[in-house]
C-alpha cells in the first residue's frame, strides 16, 4: 500500500490512500508530516500580505489530520498547529480589549462533518440516543465582525474583532450606521456587548464601485472588502456616505443573561431594535439543520447580501457552558461552508518562496482570472509532492478554486488543453535566496533551506513574525522597512529593534524619511516595550509554538525567568525532570518539547533573550481570579473512564478553575482522578504518594 523511496515514505502517494486503509506506522509518520506542513503554511498565511497558503489547502490538510487522529486516537499529536483569528489593526484607530475574547468557529465542509459535530456534542454531554439536541442555523454573513458595548442601554464603544483579544475602536464610524441602535429600549442589562456583522448588500456594492470608478477613485474587489474599507475610514463622514448595514447574533460580556437559549436571545435582539437575519432558523434535529443548509444554498444567489455558509449553534445555553471551548473555538458551534467557486486559467510560471522556518514553497503565477468576483493571479502549489501528484506543468490550463470563497488553490490540470510546449518544473536543491543546500528530512513534505539566520529570507521573516500583530504588533515596522534595516545592518535580530533609536542619524539619511516618520516609528517601538509573557513567547518564533502553546507555557511557568531556567535545564537533559515536566503539560508532546529545548540549547538565542530581557518589561502571566477554587494552582491528571462527565469536559472544567492539567503523573502531581479502568498512571501515583481521588470525590472537592 505504501510506497517508499529508500527509508522515506512517499507522501504524494499516501495522500491518495483513504484514511481507512492506512496502517498504524504510516499513519504516525503522516501525522508528523501533517503537523509540520500545517504549521509551516499557517505561518506563511498569517504573516504575509500575499500568502502562499490557501484556505482550501489548509482545510484539506486539517481535515485529513483530524480523520487520521479519529481512526488512530492513540497517535494523536499534542503539537498539532491550530488556526488563528483576526486581521491587522488599521493605523489611526485606538485599541479596545475585549472583555470576552471574540473567537472563531471550526469549519465543516460536508454533511458527514456536520453529523460528526452532532455526535461529538452528544458524546461530550453523554446524551442518550433519544435525547433531542436543538440547534440554531444562522446565515454566515460575509462582512466585518464587531462588538458593541452598551452601558445602561446607551451605546458606549464599538470595536472590530482584531486578533480576537483586542480590536480597533470604530465607535465614531459605527454610529453612522442607521441600523446600529444608539439606545436600547426595554429591560436591558446594565452592561452588555452585542456582537454581529457589518456588511454591504450586493446592489449597494455595485453602485458604490460604479460611483468610485466615475470619480477615478479606488474600487473594491467584493462587498466584504467594501464594507471593511468603508468602516475603517479615518473620517466618519466618508463612512456615513457608504451604505453599510448590520446583523446582530451574539453577545460577549454581560452582567446578566436572562435568556436560556440562543433562539430566545435572537428574539430579544429584535425587541431591542437590532436587525436579525430572517433566514435564521431553530432546528429540532441534525436532519433539520442539514435541510436548512441546502435550502440556504439554493437561496444564496437570490439573497441581497453575500453569505459563505451557515453557522450552527447548540441552542441550550447551559449545554453551551458545559461544552466550553477548545483553544480558539467553541465546542458548541461550527460553520458549515458552501462549496468553493471555480474557474480555468493558464499557469504561466512557478516561483519558490522561502518562509520563516526555511520551508521552500512553490507559488503558481497565473493569467488573471475572475473567481467569485475576485481577480486571481497567484496560487500556492504547496510542495514538491503536490506538483508531482497533480502533474502540474508550466503552460498548463488549470482549474482554480477559492475555498470558502476567499483564497485560491490549483485543483487540477485540464489535460485535454495541455499544449506541446508545457514543461515540467524542476524543484531546486538549493535555496533561491541564499544558495544554501535545501534538504528534505524523513517524514517531512517540505524541503528546507539549511542557511538558518544566514539566509536573508529566514532572518527577515523571523523579524516579521516578531513584529506581527499577534506578537509585538509594532506599527510602521512592516516587511519593506525590516528588509531595508536588515540590508543596512541596523537590525539583525529582534533585540536590535529596541536599540534602533541609537541609529537615528542613519535613519535621517534614508531617502524620503522625515523627522515625523522617524519619530512615529521610534514612538511605536517604545510603546511595545511592555508585553505579556504569552505574547513574548509566541513572538520568539520557536517552531511548533503557536499562540495556544505559548499561552500554555506562560500559564505553567508564569514568569520569563522561571520558564527560561526550566527550558535551559530541559535542553541539557532530555531524560531529566525539566523535560519530563514540559512534556507533561497538556497539548505539548515530545516533538514540540524538542523544538523548545532545541531553541534554548543555542547560545545565540540565549544571548538575544538576555538583550531582550534588558530592554523590555515582560509581564508575568496573569491568572484568572480562582481564589475561591479548591484546585487553583494544583496539578491534576485524569485517568480511566469518567462516568459523570467526559474526559474532555473534566479537563476543560479543571483548567477553568485554575488547575494545571497534565498528561502524565510526576511527583509534582497534586491529584490523580481515577475512574474505572485506570492502569499505569494509577500505579505511578501510588508509588509516588500522589493523592488519588475517585470521580465522586473529585466532584465533591470542586463543588466545595
Q: Map grid coordinates 472537592 to a residue.
A: 701
Q: Of all helices (H) and strands (E), which one includes residue 211?
A: helix 202-214
Tell me the C-alpha distance between 350 and 649, whole Å: 47
Tell me the C-alpha distance between 600 and 302, whole Å: 57
For strands 307-314 and 329-330, give the pairing.
unpaired
C-alpha cell at 400: 482554480
CA-to-CA dists, residue 68 to 76, 124, 165, 198, angstroms: 8, 20, 32, 38
Q: Of all helices (H) and strands (E), which one includes residue 337?
A: strand 333-337
Q: Map grid coordinates 516587511 to a residue.
A: 479
473 Ramachandran zone, left/alpha/beta (phi>0; psi -120 to 50):
left
In the annotation, is 313 catalytic? Answer: no
Decide if 579 contacts 573 (C-beta within 8 A): yes
Reduced 3-state DSSP string for 484-498:
HHHHCCCCCCHHHHC
C-alpha cell at 696: 465522586
Q: Map grid coordinates 516595550 to a residue.
A: 529
Decide if 345 contacts 397 (C-beta within 8 A): yes
Q: Helix 560-572 to helix 577-584 angle, to the nearest 10 degrees? A: 120
With 0-12 / 13-18 / 19 or more C-beta atoms within 10 angstroms meaning exposed / middle / buried, residue 6 is exposed
Tell me the C-alpha distance between 254 and 192, whole Å: 4
Backbone angles phi, psi at 231, to 5 degrees: -75, -25
CA-to-CA dists, residue 487 to 295, 353, 372, 459, angstroms: 56, 19, 40, 11
Tell me the C-alpha distance between 254 and 194, whole Å: 9
Q: Which residues, 6+ apart, have CB-to-CB distance to 577 below 8 Å? A: 569, 666
Q: Give the torsion through C-alpha atoms of 226, 231, 232, 233, to 10 deg.
A: 90
Nearest C-alpha neighbor of 574 from the set 555, 553, 557, 595: 595
C-alpha cell at 112: 458527514
282 strand-pairing partners: 136
Decide if 97 contacts 165 (C-beta within 8 A): yes
Reduced 3-state DSSP string for 62-89:
HHHHHHHHHHCHHHCCCCCCCCCCCCCC
Tell me the C-alpha distance between 311 and 326, whole Å: 17
C-alpha cell at 61: 490538510
Q: What is the CA radius of gyration of the chain?
A: 26
Q: Which of 83, 84, 140, 245 is catalytic?
A: 140
Q: Which residues, 6+ apart, have CB-to-CB distance to 403 below 8 Å? A: 54, 55, 56, 57, 59, 337, 340, 409
Residue 206: count other Cβ atoms within 10 Å of its Cβ.
Answer: 13
Catalytic residues: 140
Amino acid at each position: 500500500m505504501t510506497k517508499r523511496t529508500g527509508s522515506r515514505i512517499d507522501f504524494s502517494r499516501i495522500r491518495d490512500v483513504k484514511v481507512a486503509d492506512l496502517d498504524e506506522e504510516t499513519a504516525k509518520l503522516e501525522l508528523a508530516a501533517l503537523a509540520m506542513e500545517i504549521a509551516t503554511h499557517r505561518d506563511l498565511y498569517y504573516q504575509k500580505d500575499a500568502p502562499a497558503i490557501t484556505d482550501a489547502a489548509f482545510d484539506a490538510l486539517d481535515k485529513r489530520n483530524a480523520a487520521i487522529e479519529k481512526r488512530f486516537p492513540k497517535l494523536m499529536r499534542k503539537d498539532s498547529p491550530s488556526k488563528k483569528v483576526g486581521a491587522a489593526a488599521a493605523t489611526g484607530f485606538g485599541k479596545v480589549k475585549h472583555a470576552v475574547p471574540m473567537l472563531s468557529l471550526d469549519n465543516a465542509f460536508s454533511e458527514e462533518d456536520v453529523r460528526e459535530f452532532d455526535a461529538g456534542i452528544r458524546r461530550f454531554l453523554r446524551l442518550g440516543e433519544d435525547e433531542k439536541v436543538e440547534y440554531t442555523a444562522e446565515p454566515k454573513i460575509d462582512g466585518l465582525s464587531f462588538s458593541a458595548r452598551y452601558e445602561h442601554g446607551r451605546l458606549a464603544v464599538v470595536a472590530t474583532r482584531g486578533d480576537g483579544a483586542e480590536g480597533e475602536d470604530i465607535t465614531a464610524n459605527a454610529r453612522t450606521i442607521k441600523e446600529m441602535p444608539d439606545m436600547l429600549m426595554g429591560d436591558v442589562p446594565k452592561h452588555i456587548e452585542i456582537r454581529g456583522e457589518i456588511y454591504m448588500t450586493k446592489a449597494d456594492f455595485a453602485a458604490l464601485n460604479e460611483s468610485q470608478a466615475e470619480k477615478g477613485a479606488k474600487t473594491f474587489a467584493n462587498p466584504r472588502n467594501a464594507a471593511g474599507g468603508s468602516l475603517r475610514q479615518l473620517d466618519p463622514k466618508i463612512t456615513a456616505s457608504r451604505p453599510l448595514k448590520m446583523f446582530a447574533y451574539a453577545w460577549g460580556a454581560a452582567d446578566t443573561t436572562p435568556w436560556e437559549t440562543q433562539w430566545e436571545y435572537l428574539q430579544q435582539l429584535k425587541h431591542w431594535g437590532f436587525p436579525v437575519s430572517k433566514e435564521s432558523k431553530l432546528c429540532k434535529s441534525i436532519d433539520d439543520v442539514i435541510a436548512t443548509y441546502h435550502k440556504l444554498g439554493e437561496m444564496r444567489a437570490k439573497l441581497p447580501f453575500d453569505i459563505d455558509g451557515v453557522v450552527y449553534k447548540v441552542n441550550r445555553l447551559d449545554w453551551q457552558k458545559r461544552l466550553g471551548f477548545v483553544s480558539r473555538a467553541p465546542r458548541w458551534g461550527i460553520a458549515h461552508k458552501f462549496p468553493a467557486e471555480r474557474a480555468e486559467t493558464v499557469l504561466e510560471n512557478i516561483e519558490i518562496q522561502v518562509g520563516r522556518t526555511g520551508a521552500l514553497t512553490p507559488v503558481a503565477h497565473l493569467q488573471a482570472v475572475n473567481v467569485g468576483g475576485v481577480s486571481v493571479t497567484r496560487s500556492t502549489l504547496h510542495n514538491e509532492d503536490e506538483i508531482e501528484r497533480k502533474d502540474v506543468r508550466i503552460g498548463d490550463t488549470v482549474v482554480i478554486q477559492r475555498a470558502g470563497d476567499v483564497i485560491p488553490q490549483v485543483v487540477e490540470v485540464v489535460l485535454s488543453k495541455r499544449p506541446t510546449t508545457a514543461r515540467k518544473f524542476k524543484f531546486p536543491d538549493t535555496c533561491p535566496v541564499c544558495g544554501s543546500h535545501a534538504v528534505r528530512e524523513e517524514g517531512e513534505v517540505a524541503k528546507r533551506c539549511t542557511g538558518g539566520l544566514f539566509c536573508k529570507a529566514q532572518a527577515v521573516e523571523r523579524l516579521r513574525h516578531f513584529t506581527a500583530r499577534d506578537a509585538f504588533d509594532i506599527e510602521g515596522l512592516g516587511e519593506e522597512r525590516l528588509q531595508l534595516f536588515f540590508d543596512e545592518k541596523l537590525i539583525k535580530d529582534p533585540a536590535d529593534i529596541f536599540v534602533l533609536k541609537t541609529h537615528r542619524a542613519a535613519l535621517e539619511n534614508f531617502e524620503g524619511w522625515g523627522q515625523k516618520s522617524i519619530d512615529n516609528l521610534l514612538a511605536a517601538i517604545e510603546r511595545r516595550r511592555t508585553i505579556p509573557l504569552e505574547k513574548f513567547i509566541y513572538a520568539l518564533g520557536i517552531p511548533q509554538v503557536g499562540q495556544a502553546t505559548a499561552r500554555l507555557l506562560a500559564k505553567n511557568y508564569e514568569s520569563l525567568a522561571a520558564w527560561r531556567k526550566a527550558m535551559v535545564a530541559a535542553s541539557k537533559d532530555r531524560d531529566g525532570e525539566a523535560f519530563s515536566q514540559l512534556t507533561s503539560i497538556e497539548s505539548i508532546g515530545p516533538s514540540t518539547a524538542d523544538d523548545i529545548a532545541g531553541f534554548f540549547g543555542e547560545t545565540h538565542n540565549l544571548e538575544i533573550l538576555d538583550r531582550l530581557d534588558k530592554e523590555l518589561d515582560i509581564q508575568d502571566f496573569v491568572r484568572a481570579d480562582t481564589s475561591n477554587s479548591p484546585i487553583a494552582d494544583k496539578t491534576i491528571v485524569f485517568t480511566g473512564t469518567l462516568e459523570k462527565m467526559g474526559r474532555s469536559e473534566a479537563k476543560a472544567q479543571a483548567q477553568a478553575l485554575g488547575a494545571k492539567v497534565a498528561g502524565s503523573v510526576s511527583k509534582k502531581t497534586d491529584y490523580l482522578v481515577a475512574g474505572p479502568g485506570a492502569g499505569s498512571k494509577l500505579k505511578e501515583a501510588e508509588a509516588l504518594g500522589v493523592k488519588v481521588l475517585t470521580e465522586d470525590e473529585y466532584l465533591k472537592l470542586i463543588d466545595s
